[in-house]
């Protein structure tokens, strides 16, 4: 009765056996692989007492846990509350936003522990994990959350779980190429997380293009309270971004510096976002979409360079530019991408992650190329870029070149991977909703009857006023 006209075209969104099957299959696989491969790293293992003696450590405080755990928890909040609530802005897709983000991230971190573990923490047949692995797993999943933003409201939970499986895999490969083969720096992930994640998601949504999406256009907006829920996500991302960009930097000055640079960049970004949000609108009013998203671009754009000697004013400049670029993107570019390039980008990740991610990669390359022993100090210079072993003779300008190459690699991986995954997700049996049912929790969730219907009853003479 509710949607009679399109019932003929209605897709099969029945999840009862498919979704449980995928979830259980994925999880059983995780248990087996963890059983075979994953063990505690030396700082989390009960043999730590002996380890301490061997390493001549005098105090438990030298355990990496105390260097990184507070940052880990901040990153954790960004992934689950930050991304989750940022996407609750849609009036009737709050459950899907926060719930599916929860689901894909919970699966993704497990698979990321394995994938990243094989590449980076594999020793005598075992993956040895510690708090830094947890952070990196959260980071990896961050790129999936970003891609989720592009397809929000248009995919089934099964599609999301499949995308997560592939994207985490590709992320780990790309990360390995960048960090190990090209030996580049990207502690806050401008390239590995944002550029890769965003262009991956944009490619997927391009392939999943829905020509009749205007049928659910009335549900693609926000309501007053959903915009406030989204601000919870925005603020937690904004506040904790200094932790994000510093979480896996070297102990000491690098972590300290990364936090300061990010703090500065984000602060500047808010002012230019507000300026351009007001300026680009005829009535001069502020648009919540910009405040919720473009204010964060400054954090994305110092992801590579935050741990370098970018300097506070350098960070302000980057944030200044990104607030503008991102806001302008929301106003002019998103409609263009949708109408001309058929890229339907629900959350505007092109403006928040793709462009600022590219800027971040470039800023990182320039900052690296401009590095001198004078600015970093003799030891600091070597430590900052890890110019040791094979890379002992690498110069800053060569490093800058490799950093730039990292952007290109990330883009290529994103396009190729996104195409592959998009094609897989296009298969007709994953249970995505018909165009007129997009952006609607009712398809996959038990949704409680709401005040609206109470009000309806109130005015309906056939039913009692208070049910």
Nearer to its own copies, 33 or 405 (CB): 33
Chain centroid offset of residue 176 CA: 18
- How many of the other CB atoms lie within 10 Å of CB of 245? 33
Contacts to its own copies from residues 61-90, by CB under 8 A: 61-67, 69-71, 73-74, 76-77, 80-81, 84-85, 88
Q: How many CB atoms lie within 10 A of CB 247?
A: 30
Shortest distance in whole angstroms from residue 33 CB to its own copies = 8
Q: Applying CB under 8 A, which of residues 173, 228, 369, 420 lies at the interface with its own copies? A: 228
Closest contact distance (angstroms) between CB of 353 and its own copies is 20
Per CB under 8 A, contacts with its own copies among 369-408 are 375-377, 379-381, 383-384
Q: Counting contacts by CB under 8 A, is residue 91 touching its own copies?
A: yes
Site for its own copies in 139-168 (CB under 8 A): 157
Which of 173, 312, 401, 435 is close enough to bind its own copies by CB under 8 A?
312
Q: Which CB, 391 or 415, lies closer to its own copies?
A: 391
Task: Report the side by side order of strands in the sheet with 122-123.
Answer: 38-40, 126-129, 122-123
**What is the CA angle 36-37-40, rounded to 5?**
120
Query: Which residue, 299, 311, 312, 303, is CA-closest to 371?
Result: 311
Sign for the pseudo-dihedral over CA of 350, 355, 360, 361? positive
Query: Using CB under 8 A, which residues numbered 416 to 445 contact its own copies?
Result: 443-445
Q: How many chain residues bind its own copies (CB under 8 A)? A: 150
Q: Is 38 in the site for its own copies (CB under 8 A)?
A: yes
Q: How far is the CB of 56 from its own copies (least distance, A)?
A: 10
> Helical H runs in 12-93?
18-37, 48-54, 64-77, 83-86
Question: Which residues lie closer than 8 Å to 159 by C-beta, 6 or more apart?
Answer: 151, 425, 430, 431, 432
Site string for its own copies, 98-137 (x = CB under 8 A): xx--xx--xx-xx--x---------------xxx--x---
The CA-atom distances, in angstroms, between 421 and each of 162, 215, 426 are 8, 26, 9
CA quadruple 185, 188, 193, 199: dihedral positive or negative? negative
Shortest distance in whole angstroms from residue 372 CB to its own copies = 10
| 184: nearest Cα among 354, 355, 368, 307 | 368
Q: Does 235 engage in binding with its own copies (CB under 8 A)?
A: yes
Of the pair 6, 256, the CB lying nearest its own copies is at 256
Q: How far is the CB of 316 from its own copies (least distance, A)?
A: 5
Judged by CB under 8 A, does residue 93 bind its own copies?
A: no
CB closer to its own copies out of 66 and 336: 66
């Amino acid at each position: 009765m509710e949607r009679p006209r399109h019932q003929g075209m209605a897709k099969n969104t029945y999840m009862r056996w498919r979704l449980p099957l995928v979830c259980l299959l994925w999880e059983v696989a995780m248990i087996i692989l963890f059983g075979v491969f994953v063990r505690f790293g030396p700082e989390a293992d009960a043999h730590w007492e002996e380890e301490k003696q061997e390493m001549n450590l005098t105090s438990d405080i030298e355990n990496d846990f105390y260097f990184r755990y507070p940052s880990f928890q901040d990153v954790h909040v960004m992934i689950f509350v930050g991304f989750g609530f940022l996407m609750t802005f849609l009036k009737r897709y709050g459950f899907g936003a926060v719930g599916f983000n929860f689901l894909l991230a919970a699966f993704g971190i497990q698979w990321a522990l394995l994938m990243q573990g094989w590449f980076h923490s594999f020793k005598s047949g075992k993956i040895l994990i510690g708090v830094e692995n947890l952070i990196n797993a959260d980071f990896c999943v961050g790129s999936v959350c970003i891609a989720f933003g592009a397809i929000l409201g248009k995919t089934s939970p099964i599609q999301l779980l499949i995308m997560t499986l592939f994207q985490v895999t590709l992320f780990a490969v790309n990360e390995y190429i960048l960090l190990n083969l090209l030996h580049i720096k990207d502690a806050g992930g401008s390239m590995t997380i944002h550029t890769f994640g965003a262009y991956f998601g944009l490619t997927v949504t391009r392939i999943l293009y829905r020509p009749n999406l205007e049928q659910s256009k009335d549900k693609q907006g926000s309501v007053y309270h959903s915009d406030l829920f989204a601000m919870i996500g925005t603020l937690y991302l904004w506040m904790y971004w200094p932790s994000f960009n510093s979480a896996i930097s070297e102990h000491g000055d690098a972590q300290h510096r990364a936090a300061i640079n990010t703090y500065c960049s984000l602060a500047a970004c808010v002012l230019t976002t507000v300026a351009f949000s007001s300026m680009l609108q005829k009535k001069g009013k502020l648009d919540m979409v910009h405040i919720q998203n473009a204010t964060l671009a400054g954090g994305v754009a110092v992801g590579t360079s935050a741990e370098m000697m970018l300097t506070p004013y350098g960070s302000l400049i980057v944030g200044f530019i990104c607030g503008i670029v991102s806001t302008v993107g929301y106003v002019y570019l998103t409609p263009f991408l949708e109408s001309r390039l058929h890229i339907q980008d629900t959350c505007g990740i092109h403006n928040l992650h793709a462009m600022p991610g590219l800027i971040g990669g470039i800023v990182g390359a320039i900052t690296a190329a401009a590095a001198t022993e004078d600015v970093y100090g003799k030891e600091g210079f070597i430590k900052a870029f890890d110019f040791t072993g094979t890379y002992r003779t690498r110069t800053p300008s060569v490093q800058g070149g490799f950093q730039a190459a990292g952007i290109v690699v990330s883009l290529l991986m994103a396009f190729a991977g996104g195409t592959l995954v998009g094609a897989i997700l296009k298969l007709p049996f994953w249970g995505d909703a018909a165009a007129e049912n997009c952006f609607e929790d009712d398809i996959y969730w038990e949704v409680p009857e709401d005040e609206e219907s109470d009000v309806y009853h109130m005015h309906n003479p056939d039913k009692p006023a208070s049910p």
